[in-house]
A = this chain, B = another copy of it.
Amino acid sequence: MRVTALRVLGVDPGLTRCGLGAVEGRPGAPLSLVAVGVVRTPADDDIGPRLVAIEAGIEQWLDEVRPDAVAVERVFAQHNVRTVMGTAQAAAVAIVCAARRGLPVALHTPSEVKAAITGNGNADKKQVGAMVTRLLRLEAMPRPADAADALALAICHVWRGGVQNRLAEALAQARSGRTVQSGTGQSKGARR
């Protein structure tokens, strides 16, 4: 089976700092960094303008990076009750931006990402950052941590998600006749 390189945009969702990191690669081969950064919104702004700013930032990233898939951190209601709703809402914006373009969207839990990158589902942020730096052969650890976490998500998806991803995409295309998405999303072919 021939496996072509996958370009994945990872999103570590957040209202104050939304981490974005794109990598390209395939399982068993060296990975390469495409882009890394964060979209920030002012903590004293209303939720509406903040989500709109995040949407505009992600749209710009999707235009420039042109990923094959988007990996978003799966948010749980149990964790960090104070900020979790904002995190879930930033994640929703990232998911909508990707799905509108017909891109496959994968959700990975923080433990899945840590386990994929470091071999330990309970690894701390520093360890994840160190492995991301090594795997992408960078000179320094990406900062802030949200940017490194977004790269970790993207790497996790390249390693875990390649095959499942193409299956999900095929299923989504087979299904598209019965969802509203078919009218509003762009097909993969039209995106080129």
Identify the closest chain B residue to A107 (Cβ): B47
Taking the full assembly, how many copies of this chain does it contain? Answer: 2
B89 contacts A46, C-beta separation under 8 Å: no
Of A29-37, A144-152, A172-180, the stretch lying at the interface with chain B is A172-180
Tell me the count of chain A residues lying within 8 A, CB to CB, of chain B. 44
Contacts of A179 in B (CB 8 A): 41-42, 45, 49, 52-53
Known: A52-B180, A52-B184, A52-B185. A88 touches B81 (CB 8 A): no
Bound complex: CA A44 to CA B96 (Å): 17
Question: Does A189 have its Cβ within 8 Å of any Cβ on chain B?
Answer: no
A47 adjacent to B95 (CB under 8 Å): yes
- A: residues with CB less than 8 A from B are 41-42, 45-49, 51-53, 55-57, 75-78, 81, 84-85, 88-93, 95-96, 98-100, 104-105, 107, 168, 172, 175, 178-181, 183-185
